[in-house]
Chains A and B, each alone.
Chain A
Amino acid sequence: MNKKSTIKRVSTVALVSLLDTALVPLYFVLGRPSFFPLLLVHGIFFILLIILRGKSEEKELEVSPLILLIIPGFGSLFFGISYIVLAYGSFKYGGKFVHSLKKDTEEFEELKYSDINSLKKIMSLSGILDYASVEEKKRTIINMVSEDLNVHLGILKKGLHDADPEVIHYTASTLNYLETRYEKEIIQTKRLYNKEKTKQLAEKLVKLYEIYMNSGLIDQDILPVYRRKLIADIEFMRKNITGVFYINSRLVNAYIEEGLLDHAETVLNEMQRTFPQEGMLQVMWMKYYFYRRNLHRVTEIAEQIDELDYQLPYEYSRMVSFWSGRLEKLTGSMA
């Protein structure tokens, strides 16, 4: 490419970036343009920059225009500066600056595909299923196959409503694969348990159920079926495995969710004998009485927990404080 055309292209990119950057102060200071026209104009500038960038030399492509989306308005300023820096050789600091921008953009890209456990990931997955290109959607959906089992996958179902038949196919096939994988793992663990009858396997089986039931893969209509399976399996395992708090607590939960409160009470009483010092057991009693609609008892237990100063996970201690009225007192005194 000759020097003249480079100057022309770089100047145009710089001008468009500057105009896009100017939108932000105009919006915040003068209140003009209003929000939607602002988005529209920003979108036009973005597309324009993508088109202009398409004609760039390789070295100028180092910075992804995604940066414009991460930091709307000011992103354009960064983009414009880095583009000029790249077009006219690498200054010592300019190079570093561009490198760090590039790294940020790459991290953003990685975030979209790898860190599924974070809320950000869930949000961007949802966004991808809404707005990305067909190829990107397919890539993202199929990447879910290699993710950990312990994630919320129900969001994938969005892909079933896509307009593109290929996206629907990939989604359906991935959902089917994941479901089959869970089911097979549950069956295998159950078989193994039947042979070896160890605490570890019993815990693993219960955990698998729990992960699967919370994965979002099982629809609400079918959830009770799995809950009943879980109950049957735990009751079967309790013949050999006793004294595991986690397993018993899952059983109580399942009974409560199934509305079988008498069964839940029986197990809770057994647990009371085995784990009298366990703070979480008291929380489970609270849940039980809550479902019995005995709110007075819920409050009483909460007060006892407060008095005895059990060590509970944060979210539970907040809940206990709420029921014991301590939270109200605290917020009231602050007011």
Chain B
Amino acid sequence: MRICLILEGAYPYIPGGVSSWTHQLVTRLKNHEFVILTIMPSKSEEIKPHYAFPENVVGLHTIYLDDFMDLERSKVFPIHLRKEEEEVLDKFFDFDPSVDWKKLVNLICNKKKFGNSVDFLTDRIFFQKLSSMYETGFTDEGLNIFFWTFRSMLVMLLTIMQSEIPEADCYHAISTGYAGLLGTVGRYVKNKPFMLTEHGIYAREREEELLKAEWVKGIYKQVWIKYFYFLSIGAYKSADIIISLFRQNKKIQISLGAPPKNTFVVPNGVDVEKFPKHREEHSKIVIGAVLRVVPIKDVKTLIRAFNFVYQQRQDVELLIIGPYDEDKDYYEECRSLVTDLELDGPIRFTGRVDVKEYLPKIDMIILTSISEAQPLVILEAFAARKPVISTDVGSCRELVMGIADDFGEAGLLTKPVSPMETASAVLSLCSDKNMRERLAENGLKRVAANYNNIDVFDAYDHFYRSFE
């Protein structure tokens, strides 16, 4: 079976969680052929694949959001639409997700009738629709900013939708957004099954970014948010199978319009047997935090929590394991906090290292993130027989407390941004070796039973084969 994997700003060019996952998927499912279709922001940036493809990856296609810059007018005559098509287009302009997606995609992808994006954006219909939108809801805003905002939104949508997509037996988008939009095109134009996997919740992530963004102001924040929800809901409505990593995200997908019967949970997994289970002898109690030093991981709360712990007992050490070059300012702030609290001795930033080598030196793993989907670090800690202290975010409760099994708790949960609570969880684990052992054992059982990579990718194989 040939599967077209559709990604946005990720595999094979940009390394990260989603890219590693995709690489594992194509490497493990050797019985399928894969074509990679990746959407990248701009042609002007020089990019090279970061991963070496296995043999079953038979093609790589890259679509750039600024591809329209190379386009020229292809139609001589103006666009004529039937009343029904006009109605579909009205909903499209309004980013109304209740639009008939099949009709919309077929209308826009019919280049003979609709023209390319340049044809459309220079056509009378475009200006008529835009003017009526302006008059009905945006007259308080400047016309200039209104025009360019909507034009840039629409031009990207049209460019993506009208891109050539490779032939495949199934289209599998690894997020909603533009990738999901291409999946929708595959579903309705190529008439092939469309599968969607979301590692986070795309629309929510964009919403948060936009609300905090400086580049977009006033009413346009809401417009952009509506735009991204429109894209996500479109993908939910069009996909035959919708996969999330954990239950809470499945609930959110359903609340946004995903049909419950199409939604499934397939978690991330690890190769449990590849992780060391032993403990190297060491005199102090070593707490490990495996993370990128960036604000979303809330390293400052971790440092402050450790400060409380260190005030109570000095036989503890904190290893902050992971890269710190992504946000240098934040790293400097964290370093300076460590120095200000006189913790330069017991806290060590290791930088990028092989985590597996460090795990035997560690007694417990800690995570103080503000936001997580399904953190691999917890699964890896379980696979290495370590108890976990984690903030109660994303799927951490499912992982630590266990919902679908009877193995019992495998760690302690704390509230985000709560150094005192985190410290007291650390202290209770420090003072109770039996508890640490028990939690670690439960974690190992849980990861082996529910989060083993073999089962995870078997599930994907099963979904693909269900389309044959």
Contact = CB atoms under 8 A, between A and B. Distances in A.
Given A160-B418, A168-B415, A176 B295 contact: yes
B371 A173 contact: yes
A228 interface: yes
B419 A177 contact: no
Nearest to A225: B340
A182 to B, nearest CB: 11
Q: Main secondary structure on chain A at its contact with chain B?
A: helix
Contacts of B208: 142, 173
A307 interface: no
A176 B298 contact: yes
Interface string A161-177: 10001001101110111
A99 interface: no
A39 B31 CA distance: 68
A4 B300 CA distance: 66
Interface string B285-314: 000000000011010100010011000000
Contacts of B415: 160-161, 168, 172
Given A173-B370, A225-B337, A219 B419 contact: yes
B295 A168 contact: no
A61 B154 CA distance: 36
A228 B339 CA distance: 12
A253 B371 CA distance: 37
Contact of B333 (A142, A161, A187): A187
Contacts of A221: 304, 307-308, 419-420
A157 interface: yes
B309 to A, nearest CB: 13
B106 to A, nearest CB: 35
A329 interface: no
B393 A172 contact: yes
B248 interface: yes
Contacts of B298: 172, 176
Contacts of A225: 337, 340-341
Interface string B204-236: 000010011000000000000000000000000
B417 A157 contact: yes
B330 A172 contact: no
A165 to B, nearest CB: 6
A176 B417 contact: yes
B416 A160 contact: yes
B340 A229 contact: yes
A146 B212 CA distance: 7
Interface residues on B, range: 20 to 34
Interface in B388-440: 391-393, 397, 415-420
Contact of A172 (B248, B397, B416): B416
Nearest to A146: B211
A179 B417 CA distance: 11
Interface in A199-240: 219, 221-222, 225, 228-229
Contact of B330 (A145, A157, A180, A228): A180
B367 to A, nearest CB: 13
Contact of A177 (B212, B248, B332, B337): B212
A184 interface: yes
Contacts of B333: 183, 187
Contacts of B371: 169, 172-173
B252 to A, nearest CB: 8
Nearest to A191: B329
B340 to A, nearest CB: 5
A104 to B, nearest CB: 23
A21 B15 CA distance: 65
Contacts of A160: 415-418
Contacts of A142: 208, 211
Most buried by B among A145, A146, A171, A172: A172
A145 B212 contact: yes
B206 to A, nearest CB: 13
Contacts of B211: 142, 145-146
A169 B211 CA distance: 15
Contacts of A146: 211
Interface string A76-102: 000000000000000000000000000
Given A165-B392, A221-B308, A222-B304, A172 B340 contact: no
Interface in B322-349: 329-330, 332-333, 337, 340-341
A40 B330 CA distance: 51
Nearest to A224: B340
A180 B304 contact: no
B465 to A, nearest CB: 35
Contacts of A176: 295-296, 298, 370, 417
A225 B341 CA distance: 7
Contacts of A180: 295, 330
Nearest to A226: B340
A175 to B, nearest CB: 5
A160 B330 CA distance: 23
Contacts of B393: 165, 168-169, 172
Given A172-B370, A225-B341, 17 more contacts: A142-B211, A145-B211, A145-B212, A160-B416, A161-B415, A165-B392, A165-B393, A169-B370, A172-B415, A173-B208, A173-B370, A175-B417, A176-B296, A180-B330, A187-B329, A187-B333, A225-B337
- Shortest Cβ-Cβ A-B pairs, 4 listed: A172-B416, A172-B370, A225-B340, A176-B370
Interface of B: 208, 211-212, 248, 295-296, 298, 300, 304, 307-308, 329-330, 332-333, 337, 340-341, 370-371, 391-393, 397, 415-420
20 contacts: A145-B211, A160-B415, A165-B392, A165-B393, A169-B371, A172-B298, A172-B371, A172-B391, A172-B417, A173-B208, A173-B371, A176-B295, A176-B417, A179-B295, A180-B330, A187-B332, A219-B304, A221-B419, A222-B304, A225-B340
